[in-house]
């Protein structure tokens, strides 16, 4: 291993080490503390790189075909046989170098250490939650979360923040449980949020439906970690915060349709959907008809 790995602190700089541009990124999606790049790269030699800014999760999506990679990480060397559904974990400040022998598709997910640490404990610092490096290993749950994040960027990049942060919170909890030195104690709260806290959150959501709401800001309203907030919110209402926001936006859109003062495109923007198509999709999914057909009923 070289004595001086290349230190990277900007998302765009990571991409410069790859010969092909990414197929998709989250750079314009306003996600808080997390970034995603989806790419297809040829066989390549990747220099030793380290970053203090993110924990990096490589999620491979190229199917059952095996791609061999000679990988060097944290002073250890290993020949990885990588198949779709495998992941590689490179914690912040850990050097990672690889020689990859074949073309493959993968998702590169970066999670900032403070976001990762606060997934379970709002007061936790990055130093308290040490993520361990991991060579190629199958991880179906991480693969599913990675694909869900990729898909939301395709279908709704502008309004994807709350969904993405919810997925990353769940991913962080899973990684802390299975790939960290400090195993968390996960508590169950069968009664959900108190009536006051639930009202506090739902009123805030209803007052800010037109904005790109984030999980962290909702959790901070009631001074809870993102994980416990999501869990207790769902226990209280039977749906995730993201599902509740979508439902309230559809209900608000229905009210505007009754008033008849705005076009469907204007309503979509007013209630916080990315565009009219996004409103149509969720309106029909929840109510069984499109907004236009709703008006003619």
HEC per residue, the chain: CCCCCEECCCHHHHHCCCCCCCCEECCCCCCCCEEEEEEEECCEEEEEEECCCCEEEEEECCCCCCEEEEEEECCEEEEEEECCCEEEEECCCCCEEEEECCCEEEEEEEECHHHHHCCCCCCCCHHHCCECCEEEEECHHHHHHHHHHHHHHHHCCCCCHHHHHHHHHHHHHHHHHHHECCCCCCCCCCCCCCHHHHHHHHHHHHHCCCCCCCHHHHHHHCCCCHHHHHHHHHHHHCCCHHHHHHHHHHHHHHHHHHHCCCCHHHHHHHCCCCCHHHHHHHHHHHHCCCHHHHHHC
- Listed ranges 31-35, 96-100, 213-217; the one with the highest mean pLDDT: 96-100
End-to-end distance of the chain based on CA atoms, in angstroms?
69
- Distance (Å, whole) CA 152 – CA 212: 14
- In this prediction, residue 1 carries a pLDDT of 44
Domain with CATH 2.60.120.10 in the chain: 6-179
Per the CATH hierarchy, to which homologous superfamily does domain 189-297 belong? Homeodomain-like (1.10.10.60)
145 touches 86 (CB < 8 A)? no
Least confident of 61-70, 116-125, 269-278: 116-125
- In this prediction, residue 11 carries a pLDDT of 83
Does 2.60.40.10 match the CATH number of domain 6-179? no
104 touches 67 (CB < 8 A)? yes
Q: Inter-axis angle of helices 226-237 and 195-207, to 10 degrees?
A: 100
| Residue 42 clears pLDDT 50, i.e. is over it | yes
Q: Which residues contact 66 (CB under 8 A, 6 or more apart)?
A: 81, 82, 83
Mean pLDDT of 228-242: 93
| Residue 2 clears pLDDT 60, i.e. is over it | no
Closest CA to 165 of 241, 239, 92: 241
Domain with CATH 1.10.10.60 in the chain: 189-297
Percent of the chain whose pLDDT exceeds 70: 96
Predicted confidence band at 191 (pLDDT cuts at 50, 70, 90)?
confident
- In this prediction, residue 37 carries a pLDDT of 96
């Amino acid at each position: 291993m070289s004595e001086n790995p290349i230190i990277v602190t900007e998302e765009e700089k990571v991409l410069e080490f790859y010969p092909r541009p990414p197929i998709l990124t989250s750079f314009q999606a306003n996600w808080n503390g997390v970034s995603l790049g989806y790419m297809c790269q040829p066989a390549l030699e990747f220099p030793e790189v380290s970053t203090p800014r993110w924990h990096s999760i490589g999620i491979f999506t190229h199917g059952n075909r095996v791609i061999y990679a000679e990988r060097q990480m944290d002073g250890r060397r290993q020949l990885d046989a990588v198949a779709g559904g495998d992941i590689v974990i490179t914690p912040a400040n850990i050097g990672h170098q690889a020689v990859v022998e074949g073309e493959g598709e993968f998702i590169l997910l970066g999670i900032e250490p403070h976001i990762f640490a606060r997934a379970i404990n709002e007061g936790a610092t990055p130093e308290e939650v040490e993520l361990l490096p991991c060579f190629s290993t199958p991880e179906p749950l991480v693969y599913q979360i990675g694909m869900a994040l990729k898909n939301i960027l395709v279908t709704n990049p502008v309004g994807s923040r709350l969904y993405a942060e919810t997925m990353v919170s769940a991913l962080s909890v899973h990684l802390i449980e299975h790939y960290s030195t400090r195993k968390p104690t996960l508590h169950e709260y069968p009664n959900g949020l108190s009536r006051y806290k639930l009202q506090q959150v739902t009123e805030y959501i209803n007052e800010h439906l037109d904005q790109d709401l984030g999980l962290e800001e909702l959790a901070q309203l009631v001074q809870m970690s993102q994980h416990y907030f999501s869990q207790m919110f769902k226990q209280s209402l039977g749906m995730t915060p993201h599902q509740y926001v979508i439902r309230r936006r559809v209900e608000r859109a229905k009210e505007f349709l009754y008033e008849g003062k705005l076009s469907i495109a204007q309503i979509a923007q007013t209630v916080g959907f990315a565009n009219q198509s996004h409103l149509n999709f969720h309106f029909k999914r929840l109510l069984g008809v499109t907004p236009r057909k709703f008006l003619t009923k």
